[in-house]
Chain A
């Protein structure tokens, strides 16, 4: 099936999200759609999938103009989509999820499970999507759940498959497996539209790459004709420094000392299991690990948000085991929280109020019990300029800013104070290349000023490029602490998946 988008324009109040976008997807092609957040990728595929309607332009399938008033119409025309957030019923089996909405029924309208099960197995073997049709979804790892989503689309006879940021939730190994599946789909003549902002992945798997910026197509290229650097420049519209420039600095005395820390999760299970780790001044320690291996609980325990079950946390020589968030904060700790919308910001509050969210009660932002709005406003103006927060006004609600600018508000707030320890949890989650570059530079700046940094991130590239030492977390334990200069991506990937240090060395050797 040959898919053509011609002159697609979509306007939202005050904004043109897509401006005359052309896109050609050939049969049997993996076509990457690359762009920063806000470039219009998601809007474009939502139009293709019938979720939005284009103001101008047309969609053609095999040279016939078509319209998709609803996703149902798009599915009927052979377009399938795997969303970032899976649309699966957790307590149903794989087969039940796949057949949901297009149930085969036998006599007396009973569900024809066996027939559906057979079809699922058929699809699974044909494309290498290994999955047990009888497994219950909630018991499957994310990578396998994603396969079920792909099977769902194929079950509905999709010829064009849209994958929206599919690798965001995967381990490096799972990503490789996904790429294998994508390649086998390609050889079966299916087309794939692969949305991402990860340059390495695009170069590894795509046949052609279309880059969007500010709602328009900047260009279409192939992996052979371009490089990471070239793609980044296309996306951002200027030269981008991908590698974080940092010099080796001799670390100083320990600023964070964790001894035998054990922390329970919300269900009372051990999430952090007897973890010991040190962070010194002038040092970035990265914690690598697939999400859900105890990193969240570790950071929460360190910052006073979660009780400590056992062990000790010493920050700057002070025992802060089980201290309150404010005690931790007042000991010179900055915290960039993992979930910025949930924990880091009050969305209804103004940019200015969010910039003083944890300092509002201190001079000069307050005189005794009374807030000093003038100083708050002046500081907010100053920080928005210094940290390049793009907002219509410091009095705009922070919830109306883009993700990158929201993160800049947090970074501005946490980095503008005098601090000794920075705990950054996924500081660039969901951000685009330009913002990532910016935030990385700021983190290294703080290190160079003598701040100790604990960086928690599931992004291998981020951990590798920023850290001086890397601790790998697996099932609540620190399974290895390695010098960042002496470890490879592959070794890290294996350690994150549960291999031992020796095993990782052998396998990657």
Chain B
């Protein structure tokens, strides 16, 4: 008699079907609309930052009342040029790409396809790390530890990758990548078991384990056994040829088989979450741990498995970077990938498909920013600002809705069931 909310006062025959009427009109489009508008808004605000950081444009605004059109023209040009360079640096020029293909000249093709190759290279680890955080979200866990899991995963992959020699690629490479998964999984297992057994909050534990992981790598790199002969700075041996992800297009293009691995893993995570009983348990525990316990699901055990899987996925990102891009371990190996992963898991709504899309979005920003800096003298840092703004708008969907006057998808008559952070 006490749980009546509004909708339960509505006649039964007329239950509002599905998640509110407005939601149905947009259908599937609905889940995409807020992230898309968040990106658009972030780009718009980023444009303002570009305007205000360009002295020439600012001087145009200083004389706004004498020549208002000039100020607007300068602003438009600056923003337009910046974003055009961003696009060219990340995707390339489609017409020239076709022409290059037609000419059949190898170096020409390589030049035109370099931007997209760079974008894919930047995207690949983001997909894997993003999936790590997304799996956690789905089970109601906030995995801040992808950074450390990447580090430990890469270290484990490295030990196998340069520690063992003389295996054929078909054996060595999978083994190296599996080692990466195992290393990350171990680093995720620790906060999982601590949460299940002692209730230690995974946010705190994963953050702390990040620091442990960084120093663990530093320590490992001080061991002479790991260093190439004749070097005394903290750098590891390069992984063996047989443990390197093959390049897809050869030549100087860096695009490598990691993207195939990442997309397969994304599909695998989707399958795990939505097609298996384990995934059902993950999602049930994330959506309502009490009901899950009632239904006989071992909530603590699920936390352990989820954190291990999440860690393993981040470990794959580390293995991918090591075997596909950098080849050697150096301090600060993870370089913030694990934190970008949190942002893009949020942007992707913790759904594997969304994570892939968001990772490409971030990859485009990353790859394009270099060209933008070269072409327009706008620092790459603007990209960090835009990324931060995207996340801010995602995290505050009410803000986006208010700006664009979208009616909130009011959960009529439902209570707040989720305690998760996304999805």
Contact = CB atoms under 8 A, between A and B. Distances in A.
Contacts of A360: 277, 280
B8 A402 contact: yes
Interface string B10-21: 111111111111
B10 A17 contact: yes
Interface in B16-53: 16-22
A392 interface: yes
Interface string A381-403: 00000000011110011011111
B1 A400 contact: no
B8 A346 contact: no
B291 A215 contact: no
B293 A305 contact: yes
B20 A337 contact: no
Interface in A1-52: 12-17, 37-43
Contact of A15 (B11, B292, B411): B11
Given A348-B418, A349-B284, A370-B276, A40 B294 contact: no
A397 B296 contact: no
A37 B2 CA distance: 11
Contact of A168 (B1, B16, B278, B283): B1
Which 4 A-B pairs give the minimum distances between C-beta atoms? A326-B296, A392-B17, A347-B417, A399-B414
Contacts of A84: 1-2, 4
A114 interface: no
B105 interface: no
A12 B3 contact: no
Interface string A280-303: 000000000000000000000001
Contacts of B22: 13
Interface residues of B, number: 47
Contacts of A392: 15, 17-18
Contacts of A42: 4, 6, 9
B414 A402 contact: no
Nearest to A349: B287
Contacts of A390: 12-13, 15
A330 B295 CA distance: 11
Nearest to B272: A369
Interface in A341-381: 341-349, 353, 357-358, 360-361, 366, 369-371, 373
Contact of B9 (A14, A17, A85, A369): A17
B7 A400 contact: yes
B417 A346 contact: yes
A427 interface: no
Contacts of B7: 12, 400, 402
B277 A430 contact: no
B288 interface: yes
A347 B15 contact: no
Interface in A322-346: 324-326, 329-330, 335, 337, 339-346
Contacts of A430: 1-4
Interface of B: 1-4, 6-22, 275-280, 283-284, 287-288, 290-298, 411-415, 417-418
A54 B191 CA distance: 53
Nearest to A18: B9
Contact residue range for chain A? 35 or more
B12 A402 contact: yes
Given A38-B10, A165-B1, A324-B296, A369 B291 contact: no
A38 B412 contact: no
B216 to A, nearest CB: 34
A108 B12 CA distance: 56
Given A14-B17, A346-B417, A400-B17, 6 more contacts: A42-B9, A341-B417, A342-B290, A399-B411, A402-B8, A404-B8
13 contacts: A39-B9, A41-B9, A84-B2, A214-B13, A353-B280, A358-B295, A370-B276, A390-B12, A393-B18, A399-B411, A399-B415, A400-B411, A400-B412
A118 B288 CA distance: 48
Given A346-B287, A346-B291, A37 B9 contact: yes
A344 B291 contact: yes
Contacts of B287: 346-349
A95 interface: no
B15 A401 contact: yes
A405 interface: yes
B1 A391 contact: no
B1 A357 contact: no
A344 B1 CA distance: 16
B288 A396 contact: no
Nearest to A432: B12
A497 B240 CA distance: 80
Which residue, B7, B17, B296, has most C-beta atoms of chain A within 10 A? B296
Nearest to B278: A369
Contact of B414 (A43, A353, A373, A397): A397
B14 A343 contact: no
Contacts of A349: 283-284, 287
Nearest to A376: B280
A441 interface: no
Contacts of A39: 9, 11
Contacts of A341: 3, 415, 417
A429 interface: yes
Contact of A348 (B276, B295, B296, B417): B417
Interface string A140-157: 000000000000000000
